[in-house]
Amino acid sequence: MADALITSTIKVALEKTLALANERIGKLFQFKKDLETLRGSVAMIQAVLADAEEKQTHDQAVQLWLQRLEAVAFDAENLLDELNYEALHRQLVGKVRSFILSSDINIVFRWRMASKISDINKKLNKINKEANDFGLIRFQRATFPPSTTAKVTLNRETDSIAGHYVVGRAKDETRLVEILLSLSENAVSVIPILGMGGLGKTTLAQSVYNNSQVDSHFEKKIWVCVSDNFEVTRLLKMILESLTRRNVEITSRDVIVQEIRQQLVGKKYLLVLDDVWTESQILWDDFLRLLRGLNATNGNWCVVTTRKQQTASIVATHDPYVLGKLSDDDCWFILTEKANAGGEIPEKLQVMKKEIIKKCGGLPLAASAMGGLLRMKGKEESELILMNKLSNLSGDEDSVMKILKLSFNCLPSPAVKKCFAYCSMFPKDTEMKRDMLIELWMAEGFLQVDLKNKTMRKLESITWKFYCRVLCWKK
């Protein structure tokens, strides 16, 4: 995914550079000619980016070229930002004329900026030459999305995230609930749900967690997303946070354990540890010892979801629940639901049903990602994508990555890609309020809305749609 990210980062930086390299700046600082050269080079580079994006996966030279370009694009953007800031500042204090003509400091400033522009122009020129040497193909500017900033159509007022549905796991849920509700002499029993990435372990664990019988059987329920950091004090802190629904600042392990004990005294609990990777017997034993000492009640359960056989064997006190693949019909349901949002299934897709299902390999994540991709590309392009770009999928984890990567590449603009990629900076399963995320995107400059011409309500509606588009991958 990193390779797809770099091109979107570059595209956004270059678009911003073009927007900032305006005539006003050219005139004000007498850089008209340099800025024209810069704009020309940037336009030439933009024309080869689509081809570079394709080629980078198998051509290391193109990868390195993109890295060099990224650095220059950032320099250019920063420089023009500085010039714009300076111009604005001067306008505000009403010194534009004297700034250009008299002050020594401004001569120094101008000289410094001129030498920076000249340096950037030289680098862009070199990068353009290299693009020719690599044989990168130039596409018409019109084939790019019209702008990197958020162009959100305002024709629909009620965009929403697709509702969550779980298919084909009723038997698994029933079986797991039976196990959790069975009589147990143990203080804490541990059952792993084992299966490859994207098979639906977390989804199943969620269904079990929210099951009504489970609700009435356990007096306390705790959900912790572990990921690859199995640090015991961190886990205890997260358990306490889940129990109290507030931030825990305490750092002393003993104090945290004490507080958890108070929460759980005399109460049967279910603890879900989602996405566990540890293979350390020592860490696990340490954690389990603490769990056992939390209360005197028997029949507590801990459900662990994991991809790793080794982890499952370390943690299990009960046979691991090995999750199976989804049936063809269930995969088809997920895919078409995502591709068509409940609408009629296009004939073209229907004809290719067998082949498409094979590519999903029983993985709900593959079905869901493929559905999202087909929805994004529309009916016409769907067939082409399935026949060409996704022709050799074999329904394994690698296939999922390929589908996800292609989906990312197909997001409608670099700005949308950046918003999406930005979310990857946060730890897995971070919960964040929508408005907070939108504010962060705005602060990063991904979401540029003309504030002067938009009323607040309209602005909210635009940003909401943008959010839906990024997180639901909608067109």
Ligand X SMILES: Nc1ncnc2c1ncn2[C@@H]1O[C@H](COP(=O)(O)OP(=O)(O)OP(=O)(O)O)[C@@H](O)[C@H]1O
Please pick, from the candidates 63, 84, 202, 263, the single residue that binds Mg ion as defined by CB under 5 A.
Answer: 202
Is residue 200 a contact point for ligand X (CB under 6 A)?
yes
| Interaction pattern, residues 272-311, with ligand X; x per rule: CB under 6 A | ---x-----------------------------x-x----
Please pick, from the candidates 135, 197, 343, 378, the single residue that binds ligand X as defined by CB under 6 A.
Answer: 197
| Interaction pattern, residues 131-170, with ligand X; x per rule: CB under 6 A | ----------------------------------xxxxx-
Give the residue from 10, 161, 184 showing the smallest Cα distance to 469. 161
The rounded distance, in Å, linking the Cα atoms of 119 and 76 is 10
Provide the residue type at 205 as one letter. A
CB of 114 to ligand X, least distance (A): 52
Please pick, from the candidates 37, 202, 211, 340, the single residue that binds ligand X as defined by CB under 6 A.
Answer: 202
> What's the Cα-to-Cα distance from 26 to each of 19, 113, 118, 119, 202, rounded to whole Å?
12, 12, 14, 17, 56
CB under 6 A: which stretch of 66-74, 82-90, 191-199, 378-386 binds ligand X?
Answer: 191-199
| Interaction pattern, residues 148-187, with Mg ion; x per rule: CB under 5 A | ----------------------------------------
173 binds, among ligand X, Mg ion, none (CB under 5 to 8 A by kind): none
Q: Of how many residues is the chain composed?
A: 475
Give the residue from 259, 260, 317, 262 showing the smallest Cα distance to 291. 260
Please pick, from the candidates 192, 198, 299, 371, the single residue that binds ligand X as defined by CB under 6 A.
Answer: 198
CB under 6 A: which stretch of 246-254, 260-268, 310-318, 361-369 binds ligand X?
Answer: 361-369
Structure tokens at 146: 């019209």
Closer to ligand X by Cβ: residue 197 or 378:
197
Residue number with the smallest Cβ distance to ligand X: 200
DSSP 115-178: HHHHHHHHHHHHHHHHHHHTTPPP--GGGS-S-SS-----S-S---PPPP---S-HHHHHHHHH
21-38 burial, b at 16+ Cβ within 10 Å, e below that, comes to bbeebbebbebeebbebb
DSSP 322-342: EPPPPPHHHHHHHHHHHHHTT
CB of 275 to Mg ion, least distance (A): 5
- State the DSSP code for 298: S
Number of residues that bind ligand X (CB under 6 A): 20
CB under 6 A: which stretch of 25-33, 35-43, 194-202, 452-460 binds ligand X?
Answer: 194-202
| Interaction pattern, residues 207-246, with ligand X; x per rule: CB under 6 A | ----------------------------------------
Number of residues that bind Mg ion (CB under 5 A): 2
The rounded distance, in Å, linking the Cα atoms of 110 and 286 is 64
**Are 199 and 323 spatial neighbours (Cβ–Cβ below 8 Å)?**
yes
CB of 1 to ligand X, least distance (A): 14
CB of 180 to Mg ion, least distance (A): 19
| Interaction pattern, residues 112-151, with Mg ion; x per rule: CB under 5 A | ----------------------------------------
Provide the 10 A C-beta neighbour count for residue 235: 21
**Are 38 and 127 spatial neighbours (Cβ–Cβ below 8 Å)?**
no
Q: Which of residues 362-421 bind ligand X (CB under 6 A)?
A: 364-365, 368
| Interaction pattern, residues 272-291, with Mg ion; x per rule: CB under 5 A | ---x----------------
Taking the CA atoms of residue 420, residue 421, residue 422 and residue 426 in that order, the dihedral angle to the nearest 10 degrees is: 100
| Interaction pattern, residues 311-350, with ligand X; x per rule: CB under 6 A | -----------------------x----------------
Under 8 Å CB-to-CB from 285, ≥6 apart: which residues?
Answer: none
Give the residue from 40, 145, 108 showing the smallest Cα distance to 411. 145
CB of 309 to ligand X, least distance (A): 13
- State the DSSP code for 345: P
Q: What are phi and psi of 147, to 5 degrees?
A: -155, 155
**Are 367 and 334 spatial neighbours (Cβ–Cβ below 8 Å)?**
yes
Which stretches of the chain bind ligand X, using CB under 6 A? 165-169, 195, 197-203, 275, 305, 307, 334, 364-365, 368
Residues binding Mg ion (CB under 5 A): 202, 275
